[in-house]
Amino acid sequence: MIGICASLEEARWGAWQELAVLLPHVYTLGVQRAGGIALMLPPDEHAVRDPDELLALIDGLILAGGRDIGPAAYGAQPHASTADPCPERDLFELSLTRRAVERDLPVLGICRGCQLLNVALGGSLEQHLPDVLGHEEHSPAPDVFSDHDVRLAPGSRAARAAGEVHHTVKSHHHQGLGRLGEGLEAVGWAEPDGIVEAVERSDRRFAVGMLFHPEEDPESPVLASFVAHARAARDEREVPA
CATH code of the domain in which 139 resides: 3.40.50.880
CA dihedral 75, 174, 183, 191 (to 10 degrees): -150
Domain containing 221 equals: 2-238
pLDDT band at 128; cut points 50, 70, 90: confident
Residue 115, pLDDT score: 97
Indicate left, alpha or beta for 66 from its phi (over 0: left) and psi (-120 to 50: alpha).
Answer: left
In the set 172, 213, 216, 229, the catalytic residue is: 213
Residue range 189-226, pLDDT digits in tens: 999 889 999 999 999 999 999 999 999 998 999 999 99
Angstrom distance (rounded) from CA 89 to CA 66:
10
In terms of DSSP bridges, do strands 176-177 and 60-63 run parallel, antiparallel, or are they unpaired? Answer: unpaired
Residue range 144-179, pLDDT digits in tens: 888 999 999 999 999 999 998 888 999 988 999 999
Question: Known catalytic residue: 126?
Answer: no
Question: Known catalytic residue: 86?
Answer: no
Number of domains in the chain: 1
Contact 7, 23 (CB under 8 A): yes
- pTM of the full structure: 0.95
In the set 93, 126, 200, 215, the catalytic residue is: 215
In the set 111, 128, 172, 229, the catalytic residue is: 111
Question: Known catalytic residue: 172?
Answer: no
Residue 201 neighbours by CB under 8 Å, 6+ apart? 101, 121, 183, 184, 185, 207
